[in-house]
């Protein structure tokens, strides 16, 4: 089991201590005395990928951070406080989460509407981000399939989340349903947004190559009941493009993470 200690002296963005998750009156144990810590990295942000076998509690951890669920026991802190709606932590799901009866523009600006921002200002800010994610020209289309493709609908969700709160973004296998070409495009888009906004991104995926390409830290969960058992410091250049995937160092890290995942699976 990994030990999580703040060694940088920077503020804790996300902290979990002694977290348990049980169901069916304790007969099903998902998480067992789990700790987790994400520290602030000023002027950079954090891109953390979580890997683990199916059913190991990856999505459950994101729900804690988003204040959608509370653990059976233990503490969860976001920016030093209990999770609460005022923190407006953003989350992107694998399933398309846009509101199909609203336009792309209204979807992206939705959070600002509930914050009481004027229509003029929220449209202006939303249009800037719509352009950033490559949806310029689609502003007045309804955010639904097949009017928009799957990749475009995920761009809407990412833009909405970034505009609502670009500081903490949770992503639960957001590219899992996309074709390979669109998935690669979305990886590059997300990496660019991360550098622009210097966000803290917590990204759950089953794709090891994707995790190594995007993350600066990878954490691996054991099988249920889960704990974090491995940490991989991704020692690649901070700013990456697809040429990184041709490098020997990238390939070695992918193989190392694969070996760790196989080891975890063999001990389940």
DSSP letter string, 14-83:
EEEEEEEEEETTTTEEEEEEEEEEEE--TTT-EEEEEE--TTSSHHHHHHHHTTS---SEEEEEETTB--
Q: Is the pLDDT of residue 97 over 80?
A: no
For the stretch 203-258, pLDDT in tens is 999 999 999 999 999 999 997 888 999 999 999 999 999 999 999 999 999 999 99
For the stretch 143-170, pLDDT in tens is 998 899 988 998 999 999 888 877 899 9
Q: How confident is the model at residue 183 (pLDDT cuts 50, 70, 90)?
A: very high
Mean pLDDT, to the nearest integer, of 87-104? Answer: 84
pLDDT at 231: 96
Q: Topology of domain 1-89+216-268, per CATH? A: Rossmann fold (3.40.50)
CB 17 within 8 A of CB 56: no
Residue-range domain boundaries for the chain: 1-89+216-268
Question: How many percent of the chain have pLDDT more than 90?
Answer: 66
Q: How confident is the model at residue 259 (pLDDT cuts 50, 70, 90)?
A: very high
pLDDT at 153: 92
pLDDT at 112: 86
What is the distance between the alpha carbons of residues 187 and 193, in angstroms, rounded to a whole number? 10
Mean pLDDT, to the nearest integer, of 178-188? Answer: 91
CB 139 within 8 A of CB 128: no
Find the range with the poorest average confidence among 47-51, 110-114, 136-140, 219-223.
110-114
Q: Is the pTM of this model over 0.85?
A: yes
pLDDT at 268: 67
What is the distance between the alpha carbons of residues 162 and 47, in angstroms, rounded to a whole number? 14
Q: Is the pLDDT of residue 94 over 80?
A: no
Q: How confident is the model at residue 142 (pLDDT cuts 50, 70, 90)?
A: very high
Within 13 A of 100's CA, how many CA atoms are on the CB side? 9
What is the distance between the alpha carbons of residues 57 and 225, in angstroms, rounded to a whole number? 8
Q: Is the pLDDT of residue 96 over 90?
A: no
What is the distance between the alpha carbons of residues 54 and 185, in angstroms, rounded to a whole number? 26
Residues 6 or more apart whose CB falls under 8 angstroms from that of 6 comprise 12, 37, 39
pLDDT at 260: 96
Q: Which residues pair with 47 in a beta bridge?
A: 201
Q: Which helix (H) or strand (E) holds 92?
A: strand 90-92
For the stretch 51-91, pLDDT in tens is 998 888 899 999 999 999 999 999 999 999 998 877 778 88
Chain-wide mean pLDDT for the chain?
Answer: 91
């Amino acid at each position: 089991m990994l030990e999580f200690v703040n060694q940088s002296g920077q503020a804790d963005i996300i902290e979990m201590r002694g977290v348990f998750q049980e169901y069916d009156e304790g007969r099903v144990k998902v998480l067992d005395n789990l700790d987790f810590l994400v520290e602030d990295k000023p002027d950079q942000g954090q891109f953390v990928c979580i890997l683990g076998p199916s059913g190991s509690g990856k999505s459950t951890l994101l729900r804690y951070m988003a204040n959608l669920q509370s653990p059976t026991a233990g503490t969860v802190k976001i920016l030093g406080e209990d999770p609460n709606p005022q923190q407006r932590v953003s989350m992107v799901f694998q399933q398309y989460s846009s509101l199909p009866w609203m336009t792309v523009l209204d979807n992206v600006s939705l959070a600002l509407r509930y914050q009481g921002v004027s229509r003029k200002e929220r449209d202006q800010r939303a249009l800037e981000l719509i352009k950033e994610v490559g949806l310029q020209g689609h502003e007045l289309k309804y955010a639904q399939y097949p009017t928009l493709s799957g990749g475009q609908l995920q761009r809407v969700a990412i833009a909405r989340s970034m505009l609502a709160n670009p500081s903490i973004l949770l992503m639960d296998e957001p590219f899992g349903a996309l074709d390979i070409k669109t998935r690669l495009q979305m990886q590059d888009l997300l990496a660019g947004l991360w550098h622009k906004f210097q966000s803290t991104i917590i990204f759950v995926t089953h794709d090891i190559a994707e995790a190594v390409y995007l993350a600066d830290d990878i954490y691996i969960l054991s099988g249920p009941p889960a704990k974090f058992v491995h940490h991989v410091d991704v020692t690649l250049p901070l700013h990456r493009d697809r040429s990184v995937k041709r490098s020997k160092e990238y390939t070695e890290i992918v193989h190392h993470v694969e070996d760790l995942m196989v080891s975890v699976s063999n001990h389940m």
